[in-house]
Amino acid sequence: MSAALHTCSVCSSAFEMRFAYQMQKQGDQILRFCSQSCHERHLFSADLRQCSVCPQQFELKFAYQQLTTPTGVHFFCSTECRERATRAPEARPGLMRCIAVQNQKGGVGKTTTSVNVAAGLADAGFRTLLVDLDSQGNVAVSLGLNAPKTVTEVLLGQAEPAECIVNVGPNLDALASNNTLASAEIQLVNMRDRHKILRHRMRNVTGYDYIILDCGPSLSVLNQNALVYADHLVIPVSCDYLSLVGVRQILKTLRHVNDILLHPVSVLGVVPTLFDVRTKSSTEALRTLESYFKGRVLPAVRVNNKLREAPSHKKTIFEFAPDSHGAEDYRSVVAKLLELADSAAQGGGEADLEQSGT
């Protein structure tokens, strides 16, 4: 007559009970272990982490095995699980990347970049939320959105983000703004932890792969809130000298957030906009950006009338003119952003700005 088989509480293997250590009472629960190894794994389970992708428990040994995002800390037992979490939309366990699109100079294509990068990510299958942090409300105007509640109500604690988010299209939602945001910013200045209000109000927002923040052209408490909430920064830079000066200003703000507010945010990429290959100033500006930011310069977005016309038709460039140079350029921008985001998630592409240029 064969001995009864038991199921290991650690690895679920069937085994025959032979030794005293193979059974342990823990409260009202009886634990069984098929081997000394499984018994030890249980004893040291307090030091083990649960993989965010697969059910495997593991000992934390390497930096890549841990990733901090706006939704919390996530753990990966292997590089394969980390790659699944950071690359494939359908495999992500609630991970999000928040990207602020910001330049303190106006007229460089921030909203155009925010709208079309968000739309490009959505078209690529990534669940994306576009948040307008500019009191001009150009996101709603560009997409023809009717939003009864806006980011103003979120920041002032008058509504939850879920009450204010509107659907734009497949995989794409938006949290719009209007001119009430200017008065809300005045109230933010007098609030406790005023630089962390956005991060606090958005803490329950989940289910997205990317959050894109369209920021206004100023050094403001709203923009500082965006940087404190964001993981990365994308800087649109028109190909002219004055816009290059604006880049220096935003890098100073970035260092302030990193050093004083103790929130790590990195420049993920720089988007050269309004690029005209026929002009010397455009080519020189592009060369300057490439010498400073090196591999983080994204494909240039050429001067394109279709990009200017799309907002008047309440459409993204991919809806309005999918075969235009503008659509082609922003597809290239999105593809490069995804590549850089994957590299950043794996610990690469985070070179020190102080040492990467003058």
Question: pLDDT at position 14, please?
Answer: 86
List, in order, residues 6 or more apart from 301 with CB less than 8 Å away: 109, 113, 271, 272, 273, 274, 275, 307, 326, 329, 330, 333
User: Is there a contact between 66 and 60 (Cβ–Cβ < 8 Å)?
Assistant: yes
Q: Give the range with max mean pLDDT: 184-193, 225-234, 302-311.
A: 302-311
Lowest-confidence pick of 136-145, 250-259, 316-325 = 250-259
DSSP designation for 62: S
pLDDT confidence tier of residue 263, bands split at 50, 70 and 90: low
Instruction: State how far the Cα of 124 lies from the Cα of 85, in Å rounded to an integer.
Output: 16
Confidence at residue 28, expressed as pLDDT on a 0 to 100 scale:
66
Over residues 240-263, the mean pLDDT reads 68
Q: Per mean pLDDT, which range of 87-91, 134-138, 323-327 is the poorest?
A: 87-91
- Mean pLDDT, residues 252-267: 69
**Cα(225)–Cα(241) distance, rounded to whole angstroms?**
28
Residues 6+ apart with CB under 8 A from 317: 116, 119, 306, 307, 310, 324, 326, 327, 330
Map out the domains of the chain with their CATH numbers: 5-43 (no CATH), 48-94 (no CATH), 96-348 (3.40.50.300)
pLDDT at 330 over 80: yes
Tens-place pLDDT, residues 56-75: 677 777 766 777 554 456 77
| Region of poorest pLDDT, from 187-201, 202-216, 311-325 | 187-201
Which distant-in-sequence residues (6+ apart) come within 8 Å of 96 by Cβ?
69, 70, 71, 206, 208, 209, 210, 211
Q: What is the pLDDT of residue 220?
A: 83
Per-residue pLDDT of 345-356, as tens digits, reads 666 544 444 434
Residue 29: is its pLDDT beyond 80?
no
In the three-class reduction of DSSP (H, G, I as helix; E, B as strand; rest coil), residue 180 is classed as: helix
pLDDT higher at 28 or 221 = 221
Tokens of 268: 């993920």
